[in-house]
Amino acid sequence: MILRHLLGIDIGTSGLKCVLIDEAGRLCASAFREYTPDLPQPAWTEQDPDVWLNATITAAREVIEKSSVNSRSIAGLSFSGQMHSTVFLDRDRRVIRPAMLWLDQRSAPQVAALNHTIGQAQLAEWIGNPVMPGFMLASLLWISENEPEVWSRLAHVLLAKDYVRLRLTGEIATDFSDASSTALLDVQHRSWCDELLRAVTIPIDRLPPLRSSTAVAGYLTREMADAMGLPVGLPVICGAGDQEAQAIGNGIIRSGLLSSTIGTGGQLFTSIDHYRSDPQLRIHTFCHALPDVWHWEAATLTAGASLRWLRDEVLGRRYTYQELADAAQTITPGAEDLYFRPYLAGERTPHMNPNLRGSFSGLTLRHTWKHLVRAVMEGVVLSLYDGLELMRDLGAQVDQVIASGGGTKHPLWLQLQADVFGVPVWTTQTPQAAAFGAALIAGVGTGVYDDVFAACDRCVKWSEEVVVPREEMTQLYREQMKGW
C-alpha cells in the first residue's frame, strides 16, 4: 500500500509556512517564506496579494525537493489563512489595489458610523459579532467612501487564502470559518447576512460562494502544477481561517480545551457545541472548521508584535528573542510593579476599541531594560487572560491549555501562561500547528481520514511534559489584574 502525503500551507501576516506530512501525521519537510506588510500611512497595513502566491509556489516546491517524496503520492493540499484581510478584484479577477490586512485601522470612522446607524444590538442579532477596523465589511465601507474608482471596478472580494487558492485552481470560494471573520456572515445559520448586506448596500454577488472547510474547492491547473512541482489536477481543499486550522492542528475539537496562540497577534480559542454569542459583543463567535461546531475567540492585536516593537524600536535590535526572554527570566514576577498594556494598534477582546493605546505605567529609576521586557511579556499574557475570564463568564469550562506559536519558544512564555491562566499548559509535538491543521483538512477532504476527529485522533500528539501553574504566582497576577 502506497503511503499518502498531504500539503498544508499557512498564509500568515509576517510569513508563509508550508508542511508536507504523511498520513500518520509525521512531518516530512517544512519551509518558511518571510515577508513584511506595507505601512504606507499611519494606521494603514497593506500587502500585495501576489507576495502570498509567490511564497506558496516556492515553499511548496522546496518541501517536495527537501523531502524526496514522490509528488504523485500527495493526495491533496489545503490552506490556513490570516483572517479578515481583504483582497479586491475586478471583473477579470485581477487585483485592483493592495489587500487591506486585519491590522489596518483606517476604517475606524466607518465602524463608528455603522455602530451608530445599525447599533450593536442589531449586529448581535444578525451576525453575532462586533465589527472592527480591518474586518472585510469595514474595509469595504472605507473603499466605497474613499476610493470610488476602485469601488466602481470592484467585482469580487476574497480573503487571503481564498485569493491564493483562486490562482491555483481558477475557482472562487470561501469556507464558513474564514467567512465568519468578515462581519458579513450570519454565523448561527452559516449564510451571508442578507439584512446586513442590504443595510450597507453591498451586492451579495461580490462575495464568494460558501463551502465547508473540507470541501474540494478546485483542482490544480497545469500552470500552477508545473510551477509547484505537483501533479496536474491535484485536489485543492477549501481550508480554514488560521485560528480554526491551528485549533485542528492542536486537537482543539472538543469542549474543555483552550488553544493559546502568541504570534504577531494573540488568540484564545475554545470550541462550543451549540451557537452562543456574547450579547455585549466583547468576544468573537465564529464557525469552527467542523460541521455544526462553533467557537469563541478572544484576540489581542499586538501580542508578539509588542515584543518585536520593544526589540526593534526601543532596544535597537541588539538582542534575539531568546536573549530577551532569558533576560526577562532574571526579573522577579510582576517586574517590580511595572505594567505594560499591549494596545499598540487598539485592542479587540474585551474592549473592542481601535482607539486604545499601549502604555507602560509604574516606571521608576530602578527599572532596567530587562524589566521592560518582563513587563511586555506579562502584559501580553494578562491581556489574553481578559479573554479567558470572559469565556468563563459565558459558560466555558477550561481544563487544559494547548499553547502554540511564539508562545512556545521559551519556557518563560509557557510558565507565564500557566501562572496567569491558572490552568496546566501543554504543547503539541507537531510544529506549525496552522499549516499542520490545513494538511489534516486536506486529508479529510480527499478521503484519507473519515473526518476531522479521526484525523486528530491519529495525528495530533501533545507533549508529555506539562507546565503546571504555581498557586502563589497565580494569586500575584490576579492582584495585578485589579489594577489593569
Active site residue ranges = 242
Report the alpha-carbon distance of residue 307 to residue 387 in Å, rounded: 20
Task: List residues bridging with 271 in a β-sheet.
Answer: 295
Q: Return the axis-axis angle of helices 433-445 and 242-249, rounded to nearest 10°.
A: 90
* Rg, Å, the chain Cα set: 21
| Best CA proximity match to 361, nearest among 384, 346, 343, 345 | 343
- Cβ–Cβ < 8 Å for 17, 434: yes
Q: How far is Cα 334 from Cα 215, in angstroms, rounded to an integer?
A: 48
Report whether the peptide linkage leading into residue 350 is cis, meaning its omega lies within 30 degrees of zero: yes
Can you count the helices (H) and strands (E) in the chain? 17, 22
Torsion from C-alpha of 438, 381, 354, 314, nearest 10 degrees: -100
Backbone phi, psi, residue 391, to 5°: -60, -45
Residue 136 contacts residue 142 (beta carbons within 8 Å): no
CB–CB of 32/25 below 8 Å? no
What is d(CA 98, CA 47) in angstroms, rounded to the nearest whole number? 5
Report yes or no: 460 and 26 within 8 Å, Cβ to Cβ. Answer: no
Q: What separation, in Å, do the N-terminal and C-terminal C-alpha atoms of the chain show?
A: 58
Neighbours of 425 (CB within 10 A): 26
434's grid cell: 496552522
* Dist CA 362 CA 372 (whole Å): 11
